[in-house]
């Protein structure tokens, strides 16, 4: 069974940082591009960032560019999202996601599998 389990969310002040983690199981992580998405209350699902199978290519949504870094450790079956300079508008549930096997690498919310997500709340 393919599973993605996120951790690392929490309550932070504006300007703070968090490192989100995603533990993958049930498939070979190195065979798939991976991504992060987020959903704020009452808003649509948003794509945040993606990383290629080999980790060489990374892409970011404009609203996190320069404030986030996606990385992966396929040997440990882990995906990460470092988020810095957090803003109140970053408040959302963040989920990691697995691309379809033959999907084109790029911004998308059309992923094969999503994790349950981890809550990030940025507030004074």
Per-residue DSSP letters for 58-73? EEE-TTTTTTEEEEEE
Residue 16: its pLDDT value, please? 98
Residue 99: its pLDDT value, please? 97
Structure tokens at 124: 């004074």
The strand pair at 10-12 and 118-122 is best described as: parallel
User: Residue-wise pLDDT tens for the chain (124 aa)?
Assistant: 999 999 999 999 999 999 999 999 999 999 999 999 999 999 999 999 999 999 999 999 999 999 999 999 999 999 999 999 999 999 999 999 999 998 999 999 999 999 999 999 999 8
Cβ burial of 84 (10 Å; 0-12, 13-18, 19+) is middle
Residue 72: its pLDDT value, please? 98
């Amino acid at each position: 069974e393919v599973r993605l389990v996120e951790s690392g969310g929490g309550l932070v002040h504006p300007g703070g940082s968090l490192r989100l983690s995603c533990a993958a199981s049930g498939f070979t992580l190195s065979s798939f591009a991976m991504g992060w998405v987020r959903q704020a209350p009452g808003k649509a699902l948003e794509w945040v960032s993606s990383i290629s199978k080999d980790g060489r290519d990374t892409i970011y949504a404009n609203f996190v560019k320069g404030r986030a870094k996606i990385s992966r450790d396929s040997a440990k079956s882990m995906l990460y999202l470092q988020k810095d300079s957090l803003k109140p508008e970053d408040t959302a549930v963040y989920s990691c996601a697995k691309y379809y096997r033959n999907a084109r690498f790029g911004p998308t919310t059309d992923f094969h599998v999503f994790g349950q997500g981890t809550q990030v709340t940025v507030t004074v």
